[in-house]
Structure 1
Amino acid sequence: MKRVCIIGGGIIGLTMAYWINHFFPKYSIRIIEKEPALGAHASGRNSGVLHAGFYYNPDSLKAKFCIEGQDFLINYIKENKLSINPCGKLIVAKDDEELDRLRKLKERGTQNGVALEWCNEGRVSKIDPLVLTHKNALFSPTTSTINPIEVLTCLSADLESKGVRFNFKESFSSFKNNIVHTNKDTYETNLLINCAGTYAIDIAKQFNMAKNYQMLPFKGLYLMFEGENPLKTNVYPVPPKDAPFLGVHFTITVDNKLKIGPTATPALSYEHYKGVENIRLKELIPILGYETAMFVLNKCFFRNLAVEEILKCFKLYLAEQACKLTKGLDPKLFTKWSKPGIRAQLLDKRNLRLLDDFVVEKKENTLHILNAVSPAFTASFSFTRHIVEEYIV
């Protein structure tokens, strides 16, 4: 019987276990998670949006797996009677230049096979009377929101019922001669799968892999609306140029609350959620070095991004920027920060470009999932099935 050890109990680690168990029900599968519970980091702190798949380059892994992954995840949610809010999404333009980019976004979505509606201002008002756009907007009827923690909890229970073992409060240390060493114990394994999120790059480097990459963390702040949600759909701007972020936007949660975010604030450490908490020197030095280089050279418009994101740390400024997407929504009604998240974004050190796709690397009996950023939650079931079929089956 083969033994598989998965590092990381996020959505990628769990769906990886799901498919390995599906294809090889007799395999022994162990998931090592350094936190005391699931969803402590990216998988439990994301916006909860199930993306339709129109943002991504048609040749990318993101485009390939987002639509299929969304369909599978929605079916899984419905089969297990979990929460889902099929609220859709409007992408709005503020001027003619953004309108041209919005048309190109629609063309990309069509190439990817995504159902989209090109709307005039009248149609936009019918979808949501509060939303403001310049001439036209793009409507995604298949975009939904879910509760990520609810999905993780249900999926982990499914896996446990099939014999998958979870080791919480346990951190990976090393892997030698088919033995996994953690801070608590050792385990014999035939295959090690690295799904460690922000820490995946550091683990990969233990195997002399991912030498050209540096992890740059970006903090996603969320600002909550006070009172009853006045919007009927998610509202997004046209994405910024040359950066893998979607801009300041409104998200309607699965329980119909309204929030702004996430932002994309450059962070100083892998778990830099608040103030100076969790800033570690060994992470800070390389991160700060590459962020400084990107700022000076303005790679990926990083200088513009950094300045703008610093301003977004102020509630009123962030709310004012978001409310420009609406017809008079009061920014002063966004009063409370919600739990932030960290996006584990990879940087190519050779050209100082932010990678805009998932990365999978294999060496001997180790497999490393890198840059599993948005829409990784949406794409998770489809993406990890591909990995299992491509590298394991």
Structure 2
Amino acid sequence: MKVAVEGGACCREDAEMLKGKEEMESVAKLAEGAATTAAGLALNDLAARSALLRIVLRRTALGEKCELLANLVGALGDDMRQLAKECRASGIDARSSALWSLLEHQDQYEAVFERNRRVEVQQLTPMVIYQCLSRRNQLFHAGWTVIVGGSREVTGGYGEPAWESRIWLQPPTGVLREYSGIGREMARALYREMKGFSFQGVDTLGHDTPHPAERISFNDMIARFEEEGTLPLIASTEHGPSWDAFTNLSVEDPDACRALFDEKGRYRDTSTGFWASLDCERYDDAAGEWYRAYAIADATEASCIGCGCRDSSPCWLNVDGKCDTCQWVRVDHAAGRGVCSECRELESSWDAGDRVPRIAAFDEQGRMVELGTNESKNSARDDE
């Protein structure tokens, strides 16, 4: 039995040695004819060292791996960051090399390579803005500049202290504007600020994770949006080749992506089975028809004249440790106005006929509508 175990161990070791030899030969073959620049030489060296690391890890007992990683991972990560600096200086990108897939710690390279990299954007979309914010790129579009730099302490929506990245928006003319917090909604807000209206194409950006204080999971939040009919897009899948091709088209050619949908906001690729809907519908492959998982009310959405909350985005409250939402104490869905339970001080004004919102709001096209101005007040007096 002992001989058999030793023999089995030898066989496994021989197999590992053979696999390691093949991996090193593969690296050497790819490295043949590589550039002799500093970046090219560093790339070759890192590919070989990454291969050696994988070979050693496969042959090392689990209990010994922690010490091994402490000795090797840090050095490889540092050199991947140095490779990024060499590539930036040389005007090349190691990710286009055949050796890239063999490298370990690619995230270390990308963090350094992308930071403050100038990106000229011709086709602006919220997705492009979000990608540039996440990578800390410098985005340039039609005279506008978006830069991520520094951080600041803020008070979160639930009174908690937090640190957020600073975002600087420089218009073609005018004063530099400061924002904070990298997120999908921030990307949409910056798009509205730069273009003057909401994105009219197919929005594949998705949603930010809900705040922990809201006590709702991401999936439950998406289900709620679908029930309310406010999801901008529902697709058969959000991963894989079909989804990647679809999202790439939505970024590179928004008009072509929008043209895929019919007058009812439906799109289905019969060759792959991939489908998407702009109207909160799903496709049943077995029945061959579109349907809605939830019945959507046909009433006009109302917004509070005090805080601006809406039917689809009410105030989130913490009631006895449980998540809850505000309720309408006054509402006129035909007029699209109301007073929520968090703005009860406006009940008397509402009863007196006041319907003028106290804050700026956005119309259906995402354009800011300055309400409560002299023009609005004059109109109210004329009605009286």
TM-score (norm 2): 0.22
- Give the number of the structure whose residues are more often helix, by fraction: 2
The one of the two structures with greater contact order (alpha-carbon pairs below 8 A, sep at least 6) is 1
- Give the number of the structure whose residues are more often strand, by fraction: 1
TM-score (norm 1): 0.22
